[in-house]
Structure 1
Amino acid sequence: MPSATATQTADPALAAVRTHQAATRRAEVATLVAVLDWALEHTTDDDPHTVTFGERPLPLGGVGCPVVEEFAAYDLAAAMGMSTDAGLGYLGRALELRHRLPRLWAAVLAGRLPVWKAGRIAESTMRLPLDGAAYVDARLAQSVRTITFAQLDRLVTEALARYAPQDVAPPTDERHAWIDLTHVTLQGHVRLDALLSVPDAMDLEDALQTGASRLTDAGCEEPLDVRRSIALGDLARGEQPLDLTTPPTRPLVVHLHQDSPDLGRCQTTRTPVTVETIRTWCAAFTKVVIKPVIDLEQHVHVEAYEAPDRLREHIELRDLTCVFPHCRRPANRCDLDHITPHDLGGPTSTDNLAPLCRRHHRAKTHSHWTYRMTDPGTYHWTAPSGLTYRRDHHGTTPLDPPPAEPAEP
């Protein structure tokens, strides 16, 4: 009796995963090619070193790459669903790959080098001169599948030493002091991370020990770690030893709403804080400014061109960030733009003012980017290409229908 031969059938779910992954890789290459085709139509011979408030030619790749029209590049970034910075970064890597790394570009087209890895390589070679980039391109051409990022960094450093020794930077000073104001606990606490020199660290340790001891002498019964944290804040305010007469240098603004008696919102970090935390802050040595919540639906209008502080605060609290598609720059670091220009009759009011960062303010002023406010905090943008976007508190939404996908055979 013949033995049965076992046959193994491929897992259909995994086969589908592999198929979709291959399709994704092809789509990434097609997108990269389309971006480079677009770049060919939007290069300029203008001097990128020209200083002007208007449009500035953008040298995004390394030496030898084409220079791109600035405001058209903003259009590209928005079309890709990216912030301006992310879009310019993508375009710069694409130009570097296509114009200075021809062997690696061929590997991308052949499917031997993933787009994400090619972008990482291109980003590392931008600071090299032309012959340095060519050196890296030639060395990597046969090993793109196996190269690690550590090996890549060593190769770029070698190319820099060979072809631009004057640009080799001294060893990096890794000292830092980082305060994470983006993640705040409900009790109003944030994390701090620092790397100090030994002498600075010893002095800081002595100051924290002294401050913690003084707090104990003053009747503070908190644990040692808490007292050290308080002492660090006292040092930041120049209150070591504690000096109740020293004026605070930076006010902390908290908004309270009559319908939310248990919670407030810290304007500095845009995070909720408990009323008990606010009481603690008020009892400490920080200047705490408590304000009622502004009615953001209220219409505010002034006759002057310049917006007074109360109007600026209204706009900043309503929009929070620059209102250009995909931009996240905080509104308090932006210009206030008259949507309809003031010299054309546009009022200085809540329904005609919006925060734009300086970069996107220039684009609106000196190119064919236009927008209008459809509701408070909601904006309809039209790019020079004709593509349109809605920008609101949910982010940026393309309003143009996507191109129809070809029907499957």
Structure 2
Amino acid sequence: MGVMTEVARRIAEQLRSADELRRVAEANTVALLCELAEEYSVGCDEVHEILAERKVTVGGAGTPGVSEFIALELAGLLRCTPMAAATKLADALNLKYRHPELFRAVRLFEVEPARACKAADLCSGLPQEVAEQVTSRWLGRQGKLGWTAAFNWLKKLIIEADPARAAAREVKQRADRGVHVWGLYEGVMNLTGRLDVLDARYLDAAVDRVADILAVEQPEQTRTILRAKALGVLANPAYALALLQRAAQPSLLDDPVDDPVGDPAFEAGGQRHDPHCLGALCGTITAPLSRLRPTLELAVHIHTDAVGRLTGAARVDKAGHITTALLAELLPGLDVKVQPVIDLPELPAEDQYVPSVPLKRGILLAFDNDMFLYRQHRSQGLDVDHTRSHRPGRRGQTRVGNLAPLGRTAHRAKTNRAWRVDQPRPGQLIWSSPLGLTYEVTTTGTRPLD
């Protein structure tokens, strides 16, 4: 036992040392981000004025302007998307220029960089002098508090420092309300959003109510799964109404069934409900529920080898990849239209600058993300750019091996010649940064070459 304790103690000390090294590295990263941004400039004077490098402010009020292309360079150095790189840079600049005492504490390893950056971000709406006062007061106590408690206290200090501005921020947040479906993860997706307080509470209550109804017929499911399924039911209002009616009027049903969507009485128009009912949920559904489902159009891409055997993966537009086995479970009852296969090598080269609709569609289907470092954007809606600049009079320049979807900033950086790119073969781009670093980008991801 004594030997085991000694070994465990040695491992614990190594873990503590590793954590100290992490904190040192993160603190140095914050400082170096600021230093590089202050020195970075591509300096391309030969280009047209509209393409010349611009200074942009990525941090809060009081932070210096930086090169519009710095986030692209940082993306390669930090191995993340340009948007993530810009966020890290904004956090670092906010910390250094708006919260110098907090920045000093980070450099002295008195506060975690992530915690300090979060605090600076929460104070972004305050004037610089007020923001510094708030975080200086917060700094002395935050180390004794857990993450949630520390930031709950900081939010209280922010409101007390400027109640009028806090009220204005609440108005702004309400203007930013929205609901977002994103991120496929092994057959399921995320749902996030910001709602009015009462709307959110009503939605929560409605989800609970439908989950209670589903629980009677699916007692084996957990409460969490039932709530997820209930939200899906609410996405089809007619189906939700049918379930609620059935639950509210059980005595009026001749033969209860497991699923009202498949119940002929429901499909025929809800004859099982009392037409003279005066309850809040009464009413007649006069159309089949399947026809009242909200319209959703999306494309699903599968390899030709999977047709008929349902093996491998399927790519769902604006979602991601799922197994073809799951696809088979989701398709019954849905209208499916089979589109012809697009064979990229067979798409002919074109002479005009703007690619034809079939060629552009083929490029966007082949590249589901942009072809800059670490694939930031979905390709739909992006610029389809010529890898080698189009020159009037030359034939066949608009072709699969000379086109790639790019986000607007990467497109500007390439046109500005701050970044240079070559496409040795279709779907393989070699990018060279202003610092002389090179990266290979393919449909499978980004690989640094230096």
TM-score bracket, normalised by the shorter chain, equals: 0.7 to 0.9
Alpha-carbon distance, 1:85 to partner: 0.9
Alpha-carbon distance, 1:258 to partner: 3.9
CA separation of 1:226/1:169 partners in 2, compared to 1, >3 Å: closer, same or farther?
same
In structure 2, the residue matched to 1:128 is 126
Percent of aligned pairs sharing the same letter? 28
CA separation of 1:54/1:320 partners in 2, compared to 1, >3 Å: closer, same or farther?
farther
Instruction: Please give the per-residue CA displacement for 1:55-93, whole angstroms capped at 9, x wherever unaligned.
Output: 442212221111111113321232121211111111111
Deviates more, 1:361-370 or 1:90-99: 361-370
From 430, 433, 438, the counterpart of 1:383:
433
Q: TM-score, normalised by structure 2?
A: 0.68
| 8 Å Cα contact 2:431/2:439 also seen in 1 | yes
Residues 8-407 of structure 1 correspond to what in structure 2 (within 5 A)?
A: 11-42=9-40, 55-147=53-145, 148-161=150-163, 164=165, 167-170=168-171, 177-179=179-181, 182-183=184-185, 185=187, 196=199, 207-209=238-240, 223-224=258-259, 241-242=287-288, 251-260=297-306, 261-263=308-310, 265-268=314-317, 269-272=319-322, 274=324, 281=331, 284=334, 286=335, 288-298=336-346, 300-343=348-391, 345=394, 347-400=397-450
**Aligned-partner SS, 1:169:** helix
In structure 2, the residue matched to 1:236 is none
Alpha-carbon distance, 1:143 to partner: 2.2
Alpha-carbon distance, 1:28 to partner: 1.6
Q: 1:8 and 1:272 mapped to 2: Cα distance?
A: 48
CA separation of 1:355/1:328 partners in 2, compared to 1, >3 Å: closer, same or farther?
same
Q: Which amino acid aligns with 1:73?
A: A
Alpha-carbon distance, 1:244 to partner: 9.9
CA separation of 1:141/1:347 partners in 2, compared to 1, >3 Å: closer, same or farther?
same
Q: Which amino acid aligns with 2:370?
A: C
What is the total number of aligned residue pairs between the two structures?
366
CA separation of 1:9/1:267 partners in 2, compared to 1, >3 Å: closer, same or farther?
closer
| 8 Å Cα contact 1:35/1:91 also seen in 2 | yes
Q: Which amino acid aligns with 2:59?
A: G
Q: Which amino acid aligns with 1:388?
A: T
| 8 Å Cα contact 2:314/2:327 also seen in 1 | no
| 8 Å Cα contact 1:64/1:99 also seen in 2 | yes
| 8 Å Cα contact 1:381/1:388 also seen in 2 | yes
CA RMSD across the alignment: 4.1
Q: Which amino acid aligns with 1:94?
A: A
Deviates more, 1:328-337 or 1:300-309: 300-309
In structure 1, the residue matched to 2:230 is none
In structure 1, the residue matched to 2:46 is none
Q: 1:36 and 1:193 mapped to 2: Cα distance?
A: 32
Structure 1, unaligned stretches of length 5 or more? Answer: 1-6, 45-51, 215-220, 232-238, 401-409
Q: Which amino acid aligns with 1:208?
A: Y
Q: 1:279 and 1:111 mapped to 2: Cα distance?
A: 53
CA separation of 1:150/1:347 partners in 2, compared to 1, >3 Å: closer, same or farther?
same
Alpha-carbon distance, 1:168 to partner: 3.6
Alpha-carbon distance, 1:392 to partner: 1.7
| 8 Å Cα contact 1:60/1:67 also seen in 2 | yes
**Aligned-partner SS, 2:338:** strand
Q: 1:271 and 1:8 mapped to 2: Cα distance?
A: 48
**Aligned-partner SS, 2:14:** helix
Q: 1:388 and 1:111 mapped to 2: Cα distance?
A: 34
CA separation of 1:103/1:15 partners in 2, compared to 1, >3 Å: closer, same or farther?
same
**Aligned-partner SS, 1:332:** coil
Alpha-carbon distance, 1:156 to partner: 2.4
In structure 1, the residue matched to 2:273 is none
CA separation of 1:184/1:309 partners in 2, compared to 1, >3 Å: closer, same or farther?
farther
CA separation of 1:276/1:323 partners in 2, compared to 1, >3 Å: closer, same or farther?
closer
Deviates more, 1:92-101 or 1:384-393: 384-393
Higher helix residue share: 2
**Aligned-partner SS, 1:291:** coil
| 8 Å Cα contact 2:302/2:315 also seen in 1 | no
Instruction: Please give the per-residue CA displacement for 1:269-322, whole angstroms capped at 9, x wherever unaligned.
Output: 3434658966985864x4x33124433454631122211222122212322101
Alpha-carbon distance, 1:139 to partner: 0.8
In structure 2, the residue matched to 1:235 is none
Instruction: Please give the per-residue CA displacement for 1:163-221, whole angstroms capped at 9, x wherever unaligned.
Output: x4673424965986554572574xxx86878874759969x79743555689xxxxxx9
Alpha-carbon distance, 1:145 to partner: 1.3
Q: Which amino acid aligns with 2:432?
A: T
